[in-house]
A and B are shown apart, each in its own frame.
Chain A
Amino acid sequence: MPHVMISSKKCTGCHMCELGCSAWHEGGFQPSRARLFADVNPTTAVIKGHSCLQTGCAKCQEACPNDAIVAREITVTPSGTFASKEKVGDSVTGIVLVVDEEKCNNCGDCYDVCPYGVIHEHPERKVAFKCDLCDGDPQCIAFCQNQYVLAVDLKVDKADRALTAKA
């Protein structure tokens, strides 16, 4: 199943992925509301990428008492180039986990279990918000454009634990 991942080794710490993510979803550039992030230590320049593995992790879905994390079919066709393009092709169809805002009551159980810290309470809507792969054109991939870097990548997880998830 498709998901995006930041290579901590390749990442240069430009935060363009966070900027693209937040602008696409939130109508303005606001990295505090990005759905993935690169944690950069300025002194050592050590970087750790944080992003949602979708069905490859699904801990949020398992933890949700309200079935508010729902599986939805998606076709991901990144507009830009990315490192795994030759391997996965131009387009990948699979399942993405999204928040059903009608069902979410902001209980916070998913916030506690997410191993990557990429699902949070939305400051205005008071529901959980997470990576939804931008309706199939992930902006994080679109803005990781430097051909010598290409740190944000489209990955496909074969061992899929949430294939049977309620769609």
Chain B
Amino acid sequence: MDFYKGHVLKIDMSTGTAEVEPLNMEWARLYVGGKGLMLRYLWDLTEPGMDPWSPENPLIVAPGPFAGTNVSTCSRVVLGGKSPANGTILDSYCGGSFGSVLKFAGYDLIIVQGCAAELTAVLIKDDKVSFVPAAKYAGMLTADIEAALRADFDPHMTSLSIGPAGEHKLPWACVSNDQYHKAGRGGTGALMGSKNLKAIAVAGTGRVTVGDARAFLEDIERIDTDYILTDSNYWVHEEGTPVLVDVTDGAGCQPTRNYSSGTFKGAGNINSEAFKKIRVKKRACYQCTLACRNFHRINDIEGEGPEYETIALCGSNVGVDDIAALMQFNHLCDEYGLDTISTGNVLGLAMDMTEKGIHDFGLHFGDIEAYLKIPEQLALRTGVGAELAMGSRALAAKYGHPELGMQVKGLEAPGYDPRGSFGMSIAYATSDRGACHMRSFPIGVEIVEGTMPADTLDESKAEFNVTFQNHYAFKFCGVWCDFWAIDYEQMGMLMKHLWKREVTEEEMTQVGERVWNLGRLFNLREGYSKADDVIPEAWLEKPFSDGVSAGKIIGTARFNEVLGQYYALRGWDEDGVPTEAKLTELGIDVRL
């Protein structure tokens, strides 16, 4: 079979056994791979209301069909399940090489269920799967576990591993691949930790076929030249995500001191120009020609990042403009295995509550000394970290100020304040995993391109979000990276190789819509409802007093009106539930 390997590796941590079952090709046709395929398996593998911390919660690892070929950016892999952080769908992505190597080992999907009695590492080498006691790896930081697995197992292996944060089940612990690639959001690391699974290492010697390989190579060489290595994509190589600092700061939507402002005085110290001065090299993910990864060096720290989200949440949002401290903080989060978006949110919240006199956490905006202790304290749940580990939603509620926790559906917000980009309000409210900028990104048209006004919210923004979400839901089945601004025409050129026929935009859009609706059904099944499609009140009613977005408000009534328009455009009822007609139209075979 071309592209797919036809095998699902099912791992039972409780019994220490693994078995291979055939890939459900009907689902592969309907959902392609990655996000969609993961969600369809997730639906079947879980009972409604399942405790996400229970052994039954599956960790599903799904690359896309193009992983293991030379289609750029497609080494990416989705880690899915039910989120331990908030109980929505969990779909978190990382680059690196795991997706490609998993295919070389012969699998389209890994499903891990159960819980081991002791900390365990799972080693996969082609068709051999072994379970190794991992007591000696306990507590290891990312660099150490990577090095230990290479030395103990196979120098050419790649792994998904957790740091101490995952072992301590921090709700926003992440999973690392090849040291710097993180499946960051939603608690993938906590899910692994809850299974006593320290690492999954894989080495593969097999092949991925594509039909006529030489014809495929010729086509890809052309696609790379014409559609990837273009002026509109090269920014990721020349600049990388730090370029967004000037963009968001200039537009008044850079989270600053717990989202109390959209403009940060110290932005110039942590923007792309500042990072370029300490840049030492560029690196790429496996099978990607773009090479977006920036390595920086300052003092005795050299490593990848920080990326924009880290700069925004762990920089401006906590009042830190010291580039060396930010580098060190990012490095510590990488090593301990923490998602920097949630970390920066929780820290900013604790600083805000301290400075407002609500509760003294001993943390203040810009206090570098206390700041640098936080990653370890959170990961090990020591000191102030023991309490902060409950996350923004619970922490803000505990002290009677839920309005200060910048989160949606329990997931802390990324680095774009909707007060500077109104369309983001609907993007956050309707995102399937809580506050997320990777499902729809109105910033692109409202700020970067300026083709839609940033300070209006109307039906056109609802429509924009629907279209973008469908596009990205399909893109994440692919699994193409956000950094390739791939359109339907280009995806169609690649899908033609996969399906061996012309594939229309309508077909791809429908797959995306199918996936989006299935995600919605899952969240509804797990107890989420219209009442949860809300965003922090401050974003709707409390205007900034400084910056270019000063004085502008979305307004709750306007937001609710456009949310209703969004539901209607989606073919959902007034409560945001997909209608029977819509589910039938999309060929979704499950029901609430």
Contacts and interface: CB of A to CB of B under 8 A. Distances in A.
A27 B205 CA distance: 14
B283 A23 contact: no
B209 A45 contact: no
A79 interface: yes
Contact of A12 (B147, B178, B179, B284): B284
Contact of B224 (A26, A28, A45, A145): A145
A14 B205 contact: no
Given A24-B217, A28-B207, 9 more contacts: A12-B284, A27-B213, A30-B104, A42-B146, A42-B178, A43-B146, A80-B221, A145-B225, A145-B289
Interface in B202-251: 204-210, 213-214, 216-217, 220-221, 224-225, 229, 234, 237-238
Nearest to A149: B291
Interface string A13-42: 111100110111011111111000000001
B291 A146 contact: yes
B374 to A, nearest CB: 23
Contacts, number: 112
A28 B180 contact: no
7 contacts: A14-B286, A22-B207, A23-B216, A28-B208, A30-B208, A43-B143, A148-B238
A82 to B, nearest CB: 13
Interface in A132-167: 139, 142-143, 145-149
Given A27-B213, A29-B69, A79-B221, A42 B287 contact: no
B304 interface: yes
B279 interface: no
Contacts of B284: 12-14
A13 B181 CA distance: 14
B125 to A, nearest CB: 11
B179 A30 contact: no
Interface of A: 12-16, 19-20, 22-24, 26-33, 42-43, 45, 79-80, 139, 142-143, 145-149
A33 B69 CA distance: 14
B282 interface: yes
Contacts of A45: 281, 283, 295, 304
Contact of A147 (B70, B214, B229): B229
B285 interface: yes
B108 to A, nearest CB: 15
A15 B207 contact: no
> Shortest 6 CB-CB distances between A and B: which pairs?
A30-B207, A14-B284, A42-B178, A28-B207, A12-B284, A32-B205
B287 A15 contact: yes
Contacts of A33: 207
A19 B287 contact: yes
Contacts of B208: 28-30
A153 to B, nearest CB: 16
A32 B104 contact: yes
Contact of A29 (B158, B210, B290): B210
Contact of B237 (A27, A43, A79, A148): A148
Contacts of B234: 148
Contact of A146 (B147, B229, B293): B229
Contacts of B224: 143, 145
B63 interface: no
Interface in B409-442: none
A16 B207 contact: no
A74 B562 CA distance: 66
Contact residue range for chain B? 35 or more
A12 B283 contact: yes
A26 B69 CA distance: 13
A26 B214 CA distance: 10
B290 A146 contact: yes
A120 B284 CA distance: 27
Interface string B286-302: 11111101010000000
B505 to A, nearest CB: 27
Contact of B229 (A14, A29, A145): A145
B68 interface: yes
Contacts of B179: 42-43
A149 B282 CA distance: 9
A122 to B, nearest CB: 13
Contacts of B209: 27-29
Contacts of A149: 282, 289, 291
B70 A29 contact: yes
Contacts of A20: 70, 217
B289 A26 contact: no
Contacts of B96: 42
B210 A28 contact: yes
A20 B208 CA distance: 12
Contacts of A22: 207
A20 B304 CA distance: 27
A33 B205 CA distance: 8
A33 B216 CA distance: 18
A147 B284 CA distance: 14
A19 B70 contact: yes
Nearest to B209: A28
A12 B72 CA distance: 14
Given A28-B207, A28-B208, A28-B210, A15 B216 contact: no
A20 B217 CA distance: 7
Given A28-B210, A42-B178, A139-B217, A14 B288 contact: yes
B74 to A, nearest CB: 11
A129 to B, nearest CB: 14
A19 B287 CA distance: 8
Contacts of A148: 234, 237-238, 282, 291
- Counting chain A CB atoms within 10 Å of each CB, which of B96, B143, B208, B284 scores highest? B284
B69 A19 contact: yes
Contacts of B225: 80, 145
Contact of A15 (B210, B214, B237, B286): B286
- Counting chain B CB atoms within 10 Å of each CB, which of A80, A139, A143 scores highest? A143
Interface in B167-181: 178-180
Contacts of A28: 207-210, 213
Contacts of B295: 45
Contacts of B216: 23
B60 to A, nearest CB: 24
B483 to A, nearest CB: 13
B207 A14 contact: no
A30 B289 contact: no
Contacts of A19: 69-70, 287
B217 A12 contact: no
Contacts of A12: 282-284, 291, 293
Contacts of A31: 104
Contacts of B285: 14
A79 to B, nearest CB: 7
Given A45-B304, A143-B221, A23 B210 contact: yes
